[in-house]
Amino acid sequence: MNELDILSPGQRLKEIRKKMKLRQGEIAGEKFSKNYISMFENNKRSINAINATYLSSRINEYAKIKGYDININASYFLKSDVDLARDKCEKWLEETEVNLKTSENECILNLSKTIHISSKYGLNGYRAKALYLKGIISLHNERYQCAMTQLLGALVYYAKENDFVYVSDIYEKIGIILYNKRELRQALVYFNLSYEITRNIKVLDRSKLEELNYYIALCYYEMEQYVMAQKMLGLIETNSNKISELANRINSVLAV
């Protein structure tokens, strides 16, 4: 089965039964009729936890006899297609976040699968997270137009959900894209938006504010507004090589 195909509970039973070359009557055992199995496989009957436990037990017994590496539990037949879609999206996103810095092609594949499945089943939160992560990868690889489209797609969801942490981060990333495209005034707008949101978030992230102050100072420097650039750097308490370097460049210009 293609991993993008998500089967109904009955279809899952039919697939595994055929894989093990079992007849419906063999799966039914003494508890069910062949007709019940047929109706369940064709999505005409639902199943409860007791019956799902019995069916999974029958499958595992036959798997052991026939030498198949199969061991399922009741949830295999109780989970809806939406539940399985959610499980797949969570798995792919988790793998992506673990491998984000090591295996780009695999990450992009996982994110594309997540976007496809989450869009099909209306799992908007997973779709937004996948678009966000795709945007990060595109930005890292200087595919700025792709990154902008992906991040804006994620922003629509996070803004609607009032998830200000993600909104602030996306605004910052958009600012970086615009800065790299030399659209400095627009970049400054997004850095300032990110700064204001971060400043008002309940749990204040001071390192984030200092990072944004650096980008704001950098924009002012590139726009030859050196006094404003110096003022923004003055708000940064933590020192680093990039901050010292920018401060020296500003001081050199102002000293002339």
- Whether residue 156 lies inside any domain: the answer is yes
How far is the C-alpha of 133 from the C-alpha of 137, rounded, in Å? 6
How far is the C-alpha of 112 from the C-alpha of 79, rounded, in Å? 23
- Whether residue 2 lies inside any domain: the answer is no
Which of residues 78, 106, 127 is at a domain's end?
78
How far is the C-alpha of 228 from the C-alpha of 241, rounded, in Å? 20
Sign of the dihedral defined by the CA atoms of residues 44, 50, 55, 59, in that order:
positive
For 186-228, write each residue's pLDDT tens digit.
999 999 999 999 999 877 788 999 999 999 999 999 999 999 9
Determine the structural domain holding residue 237 and report its residue range. Answer: 174-256
Return the CATH number at 208.
1.25.40
Q: For residue 89, which of 60, 118, 67 has the smallest C-alpha distance? A: 118
The answer on 151 and 135 residing in a single domain is yes
The answer on 51 and 31 residing in a single domain is yes
Over its length of 256 residues, how does the chain's per-residue pLDDT go in tens digits?
Answer: 467 788 889 999 999 999 999 999 999 888 889 999 999 999 899 899 999 999 999 999 999 998 999 999 999 899 888 999 999 999 999 999 888 777 888 999 999 999 999 999 999 999 999 999 999 999 999 999 999 999 999 999 999 999 999 999 999 999 999 999 999 999 999 999 999 999 998 777 889 999 999 999 999 999 999 999 999 999 888 888 999 999 999 999 888 7
- Whether residue 53 lies inside any domain: the answer is yes
The answer on 84 and 32 residing in a single domain is no
The answer on 156 and 230 residing in a single domain is no
Return the CATH number at 38.
1.10.260.40
Go through the chain and tell me how many residues it has. Answer: 256
The answer on 74 and 88 residing in a single domain is no
Which of residues 44, 78, 112 is at a domain's end?
78
- Whether residue 72 lies inside any domain: the answer is yes
The answer on 94 and 61 residing in a single domain is no
Rg of the Cα atoms in the chain: 27
Q: How many domains does the chain have?
A: 3
Which of residues 55, 78, 101 is at a domain's end?
78
Distances (CA, A) of 97 to 76, 103, 150, 208, 216: 26, 10, 17, 20, 29
The answer on 252 and 178 residing in a single domain is yes
- Whether residue 90 lies inside any domain: the answer is yes
- Whether residue 167 lies inside any domain: the answer is no
- Whether residue 254 lies inside any domain: the answer is yes
- Whether residue 92 lies inside any domain: the answer is yes
Q: For residue 150, which of 106, 112, 190 has the smallest C-alpha distance? A: 112
- Helix (H) or strand (E) run with residue 160 in it: helix 144-160
